[in-house]
Chains A and B, each alone.
Chain A
Amino acid sequence: MNSRNGGRVGNGFTRKEILAGMGSAVAVAAMPPLSARASALSDLAKLLGVDPKYAGKGLSIDVGCSYPVTGPAAIFGSHVTDTPRMAFSQIAEMGGPKFNIILKDNKSGDPQAGVQSVRELGFNKVPMMLTSEVGDLGAELTGIKQYKIFSLDGSGGTSVFGQSRKYFWGTIAITPNDAIPGVIKFMKAKWPDAKRIGYCGWDLGGLTDMVLDQTEQYFKGTNYVYAAAERSKMGATDYTANIQKIKQGNPDIVWAIVYAEDVGYFMKQYATSGINKPVITFTHTLAAQQIAGSAYEGLYFSFDYFDATRPENPWAKFFVEEYAKNVNANVPPDYYTANSYEDSFTLWQMVMRVLKSGGNPKSADALQAALEKNPVAPSLYGGDANTVGTIAWDTDTHSVKHRPMMVAQYSGGKVNQLAHFDIGATNFKMLS
């Protein structure tokens, strides 16, 4: 039959045309409501102050991402690369440039891998980069300057050793340093009789010395003293000996200045150590919570935490919704993923500013100058129901100058915010 009528059926459509039509109908039905999304992106563009004239449409820009793809922190590496992808897709939809991610593996704090990552990006003349762990614990900083790569670090900030480094900017508060003044105020209010602090932190050599020295400066004028100062290997899983030494110091409060999954291991072993004093840490991740299980209950933490259950501004709300749709519907974004998303938009902000000033958006010098000229950018943090938050930098140190921070406690399966403050404990406020 087909051979006789050319495959036409009924009213004259071919089977191929019918199938194609059905396919299109299914595809349209499966698509999200286009107008709603377009409207949301249009609103976001307005909130972010995007001027379509300088949005960079038609540009193609390479962006390096130096993240832990392998090694102990690989789980974070896989998460933090999802959100720049999402961000750059949204940026393209909003009429921005096409950002091309070039992923490099820093192997979870391996300095050689960090050096190699930057070298490869430099050889390929990549003008900008999202990096992590303070430029892979400092190893990338020389290459960033040498190859002129405008870099944002949203997982470690500048720390102390990455400050004032050319083209390198932190986009997260320095922990624990920026949080400790607020934590001290919180401890005074919450446990007025406490005096002895048991410290367990990553052994980062001179950097750990600096943290200890600086915190002891904060102790001046208070009754606080270190009951024990234990150092652990970065990425350690067994804290039994450290916890034992802390116990021997008879502390009133314990500070666990370890990060990512290490907090989970610490808490898991702390729970059976015979110490029943409160623990304060300076990070909170789902991975650590899963490792510790019930031992995580009651843990206090303080830093610029991104609370996905309570997004503070319309952009943050949009981010959380988009993350659920595009990345993970079951697990809300954490601060690592939120920061890498925000940093992607900050890169775009700088590109737009450079374009507006008639500069070259692929020049690290031009991008840095744009940030120095106006060291403020839109942020997922802070703001209110109608206004996006802002992130502000110190142009001398390249560290974050303004950032909403909190002390919170994980209890009853959720995060309970207990105190709010800004960097340096300004505007400190107890919530309960």
Chain B
Amino acid sequence: MGSFTFDNFLQDAVNGLVNGSAYALIGVGFGLILSVSGRFHIAYAVTYTLAAYVAVWIGNQLGTPFWISLLGGAIAAAILGALMERLVYLPLSLRALGAGSDPLLIMFVASLGLTVIGRNAIALATLSSSSNNITGFNNQGINVGPITITTLNIALVLTAWGLILALAAILNYTALGRMVRAVRANWEMSLCVGIDPTLIFVAVFVIGSFLSGVAGVFQATLTSATPDMGLPPLFYALVVAFVAGLNSSPIRVGLLGVALGLVESISTLFLPTQYSPLVVFAILFFYVALRPVKIADIRRSLTRRRAQAA
């Protein structure tokens, strides 16, 4: 636990902004997939990881600049995400709906299976590789007064927010965005206006997986690609998406991600560092415990009292 000084607070706030931007990116992607397709896509961890390894491979084999490796990794993640939807989730979902059962649990189990298979396949494929570092990014520490920030951190924040704002623009101002929102609101009704929800599901898997891939490549650039790297971020993605609300705009989800990063980072001023993930868990716990029931009750109660007072 750090001592509480203004300098430390500022540094933790900057760290929180950086981490929170990463949480925002994965939360937006995960939330988009979940809210539109209804797939509880745990295998999001696999697309996150695959992107990192593809970026490693591109960088090592082709010697490309970092941004090309990043793009390659994110595209690979997007393709894998689309394949998962098209080859696994959609057929299972149709079969479940045909049998009159709820596909949610089936999707969950299928996704869990994909995660286990994906993680182990990546581990087996990369066991003999000597280096899983992403090359091409000259990461430097920059001191601004008492604060240190790295060029990688700056690149991450700008990229994450650039993508989140772009997604918000796509959803709000393009035909694709309108179709995505229509399917999110009611996929059965969207059929009536000529939208094919299965194509929109693939589209959101492409977008969401692309975002996970970008986040995965940045994380692997900070550390190194490992087969297990996708699981911890999945938890953050889930918290961000749930707490922000599944039908929220990407900007709102992103801001919630940043808020989560800030709370987590600043909590280390008061708590030992290893407990900071517990803060995130606590946020989810209070959300689950309070928001659906208690907060609504409190609001209703307050409204009633105000009405009575009036």
Contact = CB atoms under 8 A, between A and B. Distances in A.
Contact of B268 (A74, A241, A269, A272): A241
Interface in B117-151: 123, 127, 130-133, 139-141, 143, 148, 150
A269 B141 CA distance: 10
A232 B224 contact: no
A230 B271 CA distance: 11
B130 A74 contact: no
A265 B141 CA distance: 16
Nearest to B14: A244
Contacts of A212: none
Contacts of B123: 70, 74
Contacts of B12: 244
B2 A248 contact: yes
A232 B223 contact: no
A80 to B, nearest CB: 14
Given A74-B127, A237-B229, A274-B143, A244 B223 contact: no
A232 B127 contact: no
A274 B141 contact: yes
Contacts of A237: 223-224, 226, 229
B265 interface: yes
B73 to A, nearest CB: 17
B1 interface: yes
A245 interface: yes
A244 B2 contact: yes
A70 B123 CA distance: 8
B223 A273 contact: no
B222 A274 contact: no
Given A237-B223, A264-B224, A268-B223, A248 B141 contact: no
A265 to B, nearest CB: 5
A274 B151 CA distance: 12
Residue from the set B223, B265, B276 with the largest chain A CB neighbour count within 10 Å: B223
Contact of A248 (B8, B127, B150): B8
B148 to A, nearest CB: 3
A70 B132 CA distance: 17
Contacts of B133: 290-291, 293
B274 A203 contact: yes
A78 B128 CA distance: 9
A238 interface: yes
Contacts of B131: 290-291
Nearest to B132: A291
A269 B11 contact: no
B147 to A, nearest CB: 8
A203 B11 CA distance: 24
Given A74-B123, A75-B127, A273-B141, A242 B223 contact: no
B15 interface: yes
B273 A245 contact: yes
Given A241-B273, A242-B273, A248 B3 contact: yes
Contacts of B272: 231
B228 interface: yes
Contacts of A37: none
A203 B223 CA distance: 19
Interface in A53-75: 70, 72, 74-75
A125 interface: no
A233 B150 contact: no
Contacts of A265: 223-224
Contact of B274 (A75, A232, A247, A272): A232
A240 interface: yes
Q: Which of B15, B219, B226 has the most CB of A within 10 A?
A: B226
Nearest to A74: B127
Interface string B230-272: 0000000000000000000000000000000000010010001
Contacts of B139: 272
B268 A245 contact: yes
Given A233-B274, A290-B131, A269 B143 contact: no
A9 B108 CA distance: 72
A72 B273 contact: no
Interface in B142-188: 143, 148, 150, 152
B212 to A, nearest CB: 17
B268 A274 contact: no
Contact of A272 (B8, B150, B228): B150
Nearest to B12: A244
A248 B222 contact: no
A72 B228 contact: yes
A245 B127 contact: no
Given A237-B229, A244-B12, A291-B133, A272 B273 contact: no
Interface in A271-324: 271-274, 290-291, 293
Contacts of A273: 141, 148
Nearest to B141: A272
Nearest to A265: B223
A259 to B, nearest CB: 16
Nearest to A250: B3
Interface in B1-19: 1-3, 5, 8, 11-12, 15, 19
B237 to A, nearest CB: 16
B222 A245 contact: no
A90 B65 CA distance: 48
17 contacts: A232-B273, A232-B274, A238-B222, A238-B223, A240-B15, A242-B273, A244-B12, A244-B15, A247-B11, A248-B3, A248-B8, A248-B11, A269-B222, A272-B139, A273-B141, A274-B143, A291-B223
Interface of B: 1-3, 5, 8, 11-12, 15, 19, 123, 127, 130-133, 139-141, 143, 148, 150, 152, 219, 222-224, 226, 228-229, 265, 268, 272-274, 276
Closest 3 CB pairs of A and B: A274-B148, A237-B223, A272-B141
Given A72-B226, A244-B2, 9 more contacts: A74-B123, A237-B224, A237-B229, A240-B15, A241-B265, A245-B268, A269-B222, A272-B140, A291-B224
Interface of A: 70, 72, 74-75, 78, 203, 228, 230-233, 237-238, 240-242, 244-245, 247-249, 261, 264-265, 268-269, 271-274, 290-291, 293
